[in-house]
Structure 1
């Protein structure tokens, strides 16, 4: 348990956060569908799995849980209209199905309808005010919408509920990081890593804060770990490249920036980094 002195130093000033510049792109990690869809269910989005879930629904067409699970699978497969339809059915069959509201909220966000997403998260929390996943989902919605104080409050609530979901700590770490409170960010990213050691995003985030605090070795180790865990992570390659660049290893930096751009041709930090290393 944190001491009172430590707790009192965990000050969150929204105005300061909004004006803070991002050190690297690590402050935006774990925000897209690939990072978030895993939170709605363990069902996989393969065609075979969806077919199996459809067979379950055919046998029990009045079971809201079956629609909720298949909706999650459709969401993982990027089939958002079908996911929404299944969550709609689950809610129609069970109007108090707060998990289905939270799952549908996530798909609304991926579909670009933040108003409906917020409405569903609010409804889920009306039905169950202790549902940590809904606080985390709504908090991330607030974070991405530039409402950091509200996001922070939701992550704090989930953490006080003793959530075992690493996203609460990871996303709160991103807020601390954006505000320049890197010691607190490191603590949160490390907690997220302890809960999900195979996830690349917290390593990227922690590496950014290590670098901000001048700890280049630990930053480099975290960026390398992020790449090892997820070779398709454009941020990890760009972050690794930045360390090479700082060390004067421009050829290696250039290769890593190029790899980042292969994965995401529009990734700004990699574009500017590649330009710098080419001109050198």
Structure 2
């Protein structure tokens, strides 16, 4: 993530990791069809019980593309990307115009690091339905993470112009603004993100980082604390809190925050580096 009080490299890493809805936000099937059974069990998302139930639905309706799309989404949420891809492939074999399945497969390809395939799937989804905001947002995320800020901004703004209520559109645009140092605009977008998803920590983390970049430590600290209160299992939130403590010269509290972040995610470099700077004997 980007901020002014610590090295830009660390800020950049933190901001990229604070993407809104880091868990798979796979699109539920939206077309009509014999999906009453599926709709009634989707709330379990990626649980083994839900996947088993969805498999039973497919056994009874082996030619229903929506059933494969929903089970693919469940596999994606469970982290079983190979089976997710297989189900989306089958959904598309049964219905080549299933634009939601293209967008869902694109998201899995993105998580697998297969960015060209992800872009191709988003393009196909939008070719079928040029008004599908979720595909613009997803493609924008791929462009943003690849450092293509201009194309990412265009996709987020296209979704926003369609009056989407998906908080990811505003969060994504806010991250682009942050990347280019437009922190006032970023704060506005993160505020909208928060209004659309008040129970998610990412909007608060994003807004807090822009507050911090503008020297508004008090509002930044308040946002990071809210993020922790909403979900105390997010390493980025604790790392961001540590940044404020460190900027204030309170290395003891900063070290505790960084240590908690590193405990949650031992591979999260901003937390590990922050702990190294602030723990006893650190530079």
- TM bin (shorter chain): 0.7 to 0.9
Larger mean CA deviation between 67-76 and 220-229 belongs to 220-229
Q: Distance between the aligned counterparts of 1:228 and 1:125, measured in 2?
A: 38
Task: Supply the RMSD in Å over aligned alpha carbons.
Answer: 1.8
| Pair 1:27-2:15 in alignment | yes
Deviation of 1:153 (Å): 0.5
Q: Deviations over 1:13-44 (max 9, x none)?
A: xxxxxxxx467244214449x71412433651
Distance in 1, matches of 2:144 and 2:100, equals 21
Partner of 1:88: 89
Equivalent residue number for residue 227 of structure 1: 228
Matching residue of 2:163: 162
Measured in 1, the distance between the counterparts of 2:82 and 2:248 equals: 48
Task: Say whether residues 1:40 and 2:27 are aligned partners.
Answer: yes
Aligned to 2:174: 173
Unaligned runs of 5+ in 1: 1-20
Number of matched pairs: 260
Q: Cα distance, 1:145 vs. partner? A: 1.0
| Structure 2: gaps spanning 5 or more residues | 1-7, 29-41
Q: Distance between the aligned counterparts of 1:22 and 1:210, measured in 2?
A: 18
Deviations 1:66-125, CA, capped at 9 Å, x for gaps: 111110000000111111111111111111100000000111111121111111100000
Tell me which residue corresponds to 2:136: 135
Offset, 1:50: 0.5
My pick for the range that moved more, 97-106 or 262-271, is: 262-271
Aligned to 2:122: 121
Correspondence for 1:145:
146
Match of 1:249 in 2: 250
Check conservation: 2:26, 2:73, Cα contact below 8 A. Answer: no
Name whichever of 257-266 and 199-208 sits farther off. Answer: 257-266
CA distance in structure 2 between the aligned counterparts of 1:117 and 1:151, rounded to whole angstroms? 14
CA contact (8 A) 1:98 1:123 kept: yes
Runs (4+) off by over 6 Å = none
Deviates more, 1:249-258 or 1:150-159: 249-258
**Could you report, residue by residue, the CA deviation over 1:174-201 in whole angstroms, capped at 9, with x for unpaired residues?**
0001111111000000101111111111
TM-score normalised by structure 1 residue count: 0.88
Contact 2:14 2:270 in 1 (8 A): no
**1:125 partner SS:** helix
Residue 214 of structure 1: CA displacement? Answer: 1.6
Rounded to whole Å, the distance in 2 between the matches of 1:53 and 1:195 is 30
Q: Specify the SS of the correspondent of 2:266.
A: coil
* Contact 1:29–1:205, Cα closer than 8 Å, also in 2: no
For 1:194 and 1:101, how far apart are their aligned partners in 2?
A: 29
Contact 1:26 1:204 in 2 (8 A): no
Alpha-carbon distance between aligned partners in 1 of 2:19 and 2:255, rounded to the nearest angstrom: 26
1:245 alignment partner, SS class: helix
Q: Does 1:187 align with 2:188?
A: yes
